Structure 1
Amino acid sequence: MTTLRIAGGRVVDPANGVDDEVRDLWITDGRVVEAPTDPGAKPDRTLDARGFVVMPGGVDVHCHIAGSKVNAARMLRPEDQRSKGVPRHNGLRSGSLGSVPSTFTTGYRYAGLGYTTAVDAAIPPLGARHAHHELRDTPIIDKAILILMGNNHAVMDRIREGEHARLRDYVAWLLNTTRGYGVKVVNPGGVENWKEGHGNVTSLDQVVPHFEVTPRQILVELARVVDELGIPHPMHLHTPNLGLPGNWTTTLETMKALDGHRAHMAHIQFHSYGGSLDDTRAFDSQVPALADYINTHPGISVDVGQVLFGDTTSMTADGAVGQFLHSVTGRKWLSHDVEMETGCGVVPITYENKNFVHALQWAIGLEWYLRVDDPWRVAMSTDHPNGGSFLAYPQIIALLMDRGHRADMLASLPDRVRARSGLGDLSREYTLSEIAIITRAAPARMLGLAQKGHLGPGADGDVAIYAPDDDKERMFSLPRYLIKHGEIVLDDGDLRHAPSGEVRFSQPGFDPEAVAEIEEWFSRDYSIQFANFPVSDDDLEGATS
């Protein structure tokens, strides 16, 4: 049994009501424990944290770091990685960087920001095995995957036939089979509609041919199943009409359709636009109306999907969005179809501060952080890498904590941005505790990860220690220390160790007799045989539930 004492740090732990208090923190065998009552108790090691800010390790509720679309992006964009990389040092692995880093670099760079947990938000069931292998190659951080189900043929068939119990068993079986953590829904029915050549869906009540179901039915039935199964994380939803002018009405209608169910709205910035396709000149921010709904409906949480200026890669399970971005940017693209389950679109994109649309997207993202009253309902994200790299999180923190810095940035953008967004009227500044909430405590709570995002007894011994600095971007760009499961892995910029981290998954119960029936469905209706389809325990050495 080994014990680490972190002595005299300024502890910021909002989940336990601790706001910048000088305290000692004790970690034994990788878990936070109560401070010993015996004054003579001695740890195996003491870390002097006097004057430093001590927070739980960061938790990213929504990113894309593994799976078929990530690998498709790496193949599509070799130029993105040629001149950037991480050399081998201290016995650790080398890797490429760019907007879609390699596995080793992903783990190292998350650790370099003080993050210890990340959730890949969109993995097709057929790609789950390979995604898990990638995650095992991603060091330091704990990981989980969300399984795509919003365009799954078996899901839509069960909904059409009104077979709710069979749908529930299928969802539970699919999560067990893929070692998934939660359910992801992307443009429900719309991806399948687009793949069949009928174009994207434009409303929640448009019928998807052949399956004869609507997006509304898919998202409501899956939300109901997630609640009934007691899955820790709510249904994680990417609504129809992502990125299109006027899509805010679809977003609001979706929230209302889910009233009474838990739901997490992904990359909400991309779903908050006024105007219309017929009049793109009216493109504006509709965050106030949507944030008002969030503020009065506690069953819904959001992550932002903040846009940052610069070059990145758009990758989405919404294939129609990939085609749309290709058409408006003229850049190369890739449509990676995943049969009977989902789609995938990959397009390089450069967000420019002189481009009105890009600048307004930047402002809309910041509006979301500032207009949601309760920081426990909003999580920091860039929808990595869609709005920008997760490496930009310190930039976002600086913008949220300093309204003067925010105003200077806004003043450098096209004049129309200030007219079409209310960002300039918002004077709110985030506190250190609120930053800890949106980057740590709130994402952990949204995910149902009880051992993450806090520093109370029983928590994982994941701790980020920062040197205080008036320059908040610099402060959060590199912690002085990072502790993972009680082990110091980062010391003043020196990455000393790279433990493998764990994979978290949920295992909801289902009727054992359903397995034979599910396999019979696939062999009869979809001509799929189940030779070694499930992700086995052998595939997931070291994974934990």
Structure 2
Amino acid sequence: MASLTKIAGGTLYDPANGIDGQVRDLWFADGKIVAPPTPGTKPTRTIDAEGLVVMPAGVDMHCHIAGPKVNVARKLRADDRSHPDQLLERTRLAAGGSTRSGSLGSVPSTFATAYKYAGLGYTTAFDAAVPPSGARQAHAELADTPSIDRGFYTLVGNNHYLMERIAAGDQAGTQAFLAWLLTATRSYAPKLVNPGGVETWKQQGAGHSTGLDDLVPTFNVTPRAIIQGIAQAANDLALPHPLHVHCNQLGMPGNWQTTLATMQSLGNLQGHLTHIQFHSYGGGQGEEQSLKSEVPLLAEYINSHDNLSVDVGQVLFGNTTSMTGDGPLGYYLRNIYGDRWYSADTEVEAGCGVMPIEYKNKNLVHALQWAIGLEWYLLVEDPWRVVMSTDHPNGGSFLAYPEIIRLLMDRTYRNDVLATCPAEVRERTSLGDLDREYTLGEIAIITRAGPARLLGLTQKGHLGVGADADITLYTPHDNWAEMFQLPRLVFKRGEVLVEQGEIRTANVGQTLHLTLDYDQDRLKALADWWRAHYSFELENFSISDQEFAQLG
């Protein structure tokens, strides 16, 4: 071993390996965790971790940090990063070289995104929604996002070819195309956003809300069939993360029934429902004044079906940006808030909507959204199947993760914040009655071990032999938010990435993606079909090995 490092005497939280607050030494070499060497072996470097908490580095499985709509948001929200406090200046590094300058705000620039994730102790993040035709742009941005490993999910829920294959009952064709598309775009998982609903809205116009069994015009297929067809293909392909689902009717009062029907439609297939807070609303459809929580019923279903998992999409109070591949949702929010708005159609694939938004604790709807998110964390019994997220930046910035941790670990603080919200929040949610407080071990699950396992990242989220030496050391503090805001040390593949809030190295992470086998004959048939229907070549989607290498 060229260099052997010992982290000595730290208090380890490594849920994947059954370690919950045990004082142990941790060894790594050549960027990987290694077994303790034979007694008497002297390390090249020793890190005194006595009194410090040692965890695997964080994994964010759902955020928006690259791709077409993120760049639109950066332009649209120039106002929230113009203050000098929102700028990062170029800094010389102790080891030579320098960091890059950048801007913060609700949609940080590429380098700022990487540095701030690293500063929280996170070393892996996945953008959750990139259209296939935007893959090259997303890869270029991710290659410009240093210090963290990263990847993205490909939008497929409104793809014309997939809808035609599903409508025709061609499950083999659906599977072959999905395998080819994920490989061609060098993405990591399939993503459904308002399946069928975006296409319906693009064809029928303003305000259309698509139910699970409504026919998509032109394609003669329902959202339910799209979900089931793609879920079956993803499970048959044994993808590391089979299916990432943004349900229909996001944000609509009464949408909990559609969410439950989506869960039920998956049967025994593996599936992950994302930013579940936005899909858990009772009340009359279209009646914001009747909005209430239906989390207890939905969480009960999750608790009894271990093939399903969720991330929360926690709302935090403050100024942020709504950005989504769900075009009709963008239009819906624009009509509510009346602020500037951007909407786009991505040919044969998807759409998007972007606008500013500010969540206020005195606003009943916003306060309900805040409380409903916390209900999800507290009512899902198995922390391995609920993941921390803000749907960055939709519910708030990923920089708010320490605040969420404090809300989960400190019931008194949670109730204090609840007391600042309208009194009706207690009547319309169960939050005030929930006494549960998370432990450090459970926090390590929902921010590290759990998302890594759900993504099939065997080298992430744990401190076992062979894992990447992505490690975070925290200084204990009575205020849990203070503890998690400022790690003492962050290691990325064995290098000190951050020390007490300062970037020490600007090493380059890697883009994580899939390479799958697919039926070549079916691909030829697909290419012929595509030429007959569309004006651009299917090959324009594909990213060659050479191009990918050039992107870094």
- Report the TM-score range of the alignment, normalised by the length of the smaller protein: over 0.9
Instruction: State how far apart, in whole Å, the 2-side matches of 1:515 and 1:31 are.
Output: 39
- Of 145, 152, 158 in structure 1, the residue corresponding to residue 159 of structure 2 is 152
Distance 2:156 2:171 in 1: 15
Structure-1 separation of matches of 2:540 and 2:416: 57
> Are 1:415 and 2:417 counterparts?
no
Alignment-mate amino acid for residue 105 of structure 2: G
Distance 2:445 2:300 in 1: 20
CA distance in 2, matches of 1:96, 1:208: 41
Does the alignment pair 1:210 with 2:212? no
Deviation of 1:280 (Å): 3.2
Counterpart selection for 1:168 from 148, 168, 175: 175
Match of 1:101 among 99, 108, 118: 108
Map of 2:95 onto structure 1 = none
Q: Give the equivalent residue in structure 2 for 1:541.
A: 549
Q: In structure 2, what is the Cα distance between the partners aligned to 1:166 and 1:361?
A: 40
CA distance in structure 2 between the partners assigned to 1:75 and 1:491 by the alignment: 32
Question: Cα–Cα, structure 1 residues 471 and 182, in superposed 2: closer, same or farther, change >3 Å?
Answer: same
Counterpart in the other structure of 1:219: 227
- The residue type equivalent to 2:143 in the other structure is R
Q: How far did residue 293 of structure 1 move? A: 0.2
With over 3 angstroms needed to count, the CA separation of the structure-2 counterparts of 1:8 and 1:383, relative to structure 1, is same
Letter in 2 for 1:15: A
Among 85, 89, 92, the residue aligned to 2:91: 89
RMSD of the alignment, in Å? 1.2
1:64 — aligned with what? 64
Report Cα offsets for 1:290-327 as digits up to 9, x if no partner. Answer: 00000000000000000000000000000000000000
Contact kept, 8 Å, 2:251 with 2:278, in 1: the verdict is yes
Q: Is the 8 A contact 1:189 1:214 kept in 2?
A: yes
The residue number in structure 1 matching 2:331 is 323
One-letter code aligned to 2:217: P
The CA deviation string for residues 353-398 of structure 1, in whole angstroms up to 9 with x for no partner, is 1000000000000000000001001000000000000000000000
Partners of 2:202 and 2:243 in 1: CA distance: 24
CA distance in 2 between counterparts of 1:527 and 1:46 reads 61
Q: Which residue of 1 aligns with 2:237?
A: 229
Return the alpha-carbon distance in structure 1 between the equivalents of residues 102 and 55 of structure 2: 28
| Mapped partners of 2:99, 2:183: distance in 1 | 33
CA distance in 1, matches of 2:23, 2:381: 28
Tell me if structure 2 keeps the 8 A contact 1:7–1:47: yes
Partners of 1:170 and 1:194 in 2: CA distance: 25
1:2 aligns with 2:9: no
**1:231–1:508 Cα contact (<8 Å) kept:** no
Which has the higher mean CA deviation after the structures are superposed, 517-526 or 427-436? 517-526
State the shift of 1:166 in Å: 1.1
Deviation at 1:530, TM superposition (A): 4.2
Specify the SS of the correspondent of 1:270.
helix
Residue 182 of structure 1 corresponds to 189
Cα distance in structure 1, aligned partners of 2:53 and 2:495? 18
Contact 2:179/2:517 (<8 A) preserved: yes
CA displacement, residues 452-488 of structure 1 (integer Å, 9 cap, x when unaligned): 1000001111000000111100000010000000111
User: Paired residue for 1:446?
Assistant: 454
> Once the two structures are superposed, what CA deviation does each residue of 1:222-259 show, in whole Å capped at 9, x if it has no partner?
00000000100021000110000000000001101111
Counterpart of 1:126 (choices 133, 139, 145) is 133
* 1:366 paired to 2:367: no
Cα-to-partner distance string for 1:404-442 (whole Å, 9 max, x where unaligned): 000000011101111111100000000000000000000
Letter in 1 for 2:43: P
Aligned equivalents of 2:519, 2:3: Cα separation in 1: 43
Find the aligned partners of 2:467 and 2:486 in 1 and give their Cα distance. 23
* Pairing 1:42–2:49 present: no
**1:263-290 alpha-carbon deviations (Å, 9 max, x no partner):** 0000000000000235433210000000
- C-alpha distance after superposition, 1:10-42 (max 9, x if no partner): 111011000111111111111101111x22212
CA contact (8 A) 1:230 1:508 kept: no
Answer yes or no: is the 8 Å Cα contact 2:132–2:541 preserved in 1. no
Separation in 2 of the partners of 1:432 and 1:128? 37
Q: Give the TM-score normalised by the residue count of structure 2.
A: 0.97
Q: 2:43 and 2:523 mapped to 1: Cα distance?
A: 50
Q: Does 1:74 align with 2:74?
A: yes
- SS of 1:337's partner is strand
Q: Which moved more, 1:493-502 or 1:475-484?
A: 493-502
What are the residue-to-residue correspondences of 1:388-407 with 2, within 5 Å? 388-407=396-415
Q: How far off is 1:45 after superposition?
A: 1.2
* One-letter amino acid matched to 1:398: R
Query: Is contact 1:72–1:336 with CA below 8 Å preserved after alignment?
Result: no
Please list every run of 5 or more consecutive structure 2 residues that lacks an aligned counterpart in the other structure: 93-97
Distance (whole Å) between structure 2 residues aligned to residue 531 and residue 234 of structure 1: 25
Q: After TM superposition, list the pairs within 5 Å mapping 1:464-543 onto structure 2.
A: 464-530=472-538, 532-541=540-549
Indicate conservation of the 8 Å contact 1:133/1:539, yes or no: no
- 1:190/1:240 contact within 8 Å kept: yes
- Alpha-carbon contact 1:314-1:348 (below 8 Å) kept: yes
Deviations 1:489-524 (A, max 9, x none): 111222110111011111221112233222212111
Contact 1:229 1:509 in 2 (8 A): no
1:336 Cα offset (Å): 2.1
Change (3 A) 1:394 1:506: same
Partner Cα distance (2:445, 2:437) in 1: 14
Aligned in 2, Cα 1:305/1:474: closer, same or farther, shift over 3 Å?
Answer: same
Q: Would you say the 8 A contact 2:252–2:286 is kept in 1?
A: no
Q: Secondary structure at the match of 1:453?
A: coil
The residue correspondences of 1:368-387 to structure 2 (distance < 5 A) are 368-387=376-395
SS for the counterpart of 1:482 is strand
Q: 1:299-378, aligned counterparts within 5 Å?
A: 299-378=307-386
Shift of 1:533: 3.5
* Matching residue of 1:289: 297
Secondary structure (helix, strand or coil) at the match of 2:477 reads coil
CA distance in 1, matches of 2:166, 2:502: 53
Identical pairs, percent:
57
Residue of 392, 415, 429 corresponding to 2:437: 429
CA separation in 2, counterparts of 1:389 and 1:473? 15
Q: Which residue is equivalent to 1:192?
A: 199
- 1:93-127 CA distances to partner (integer Å, 9 max, x unpaired)? 01000000000000000000000100111010000
C-alpha displacement at 1:534, in angstroms?
A: 1.1
How many Å separate the matches in 2 of 1:387 and 1:448? Answer: 26
Q: Alignment partner of 1:364: what SS?
A: helix
> Matched residues in 2 for 1:542 and 1:459: separation?
27
**3-state DSSP class of the match of 1:344?**
strand
Aligned pairs, number = 543
Q: Which amino acid aligns with 2:12?
A: V
Contact 1:397 1:472 survives alignment (8 Å): yes
Q: Any stretches of 5+ residues in structure 1 without a counterpart?
A: none
Distance 1:12 1:175 in 2: 34
**Which residue is 1:110 aligned to?**
117
Matched residue SS, 2:175: helix
**How many Å apart are 1:44 and its aligned residue?**
1.8
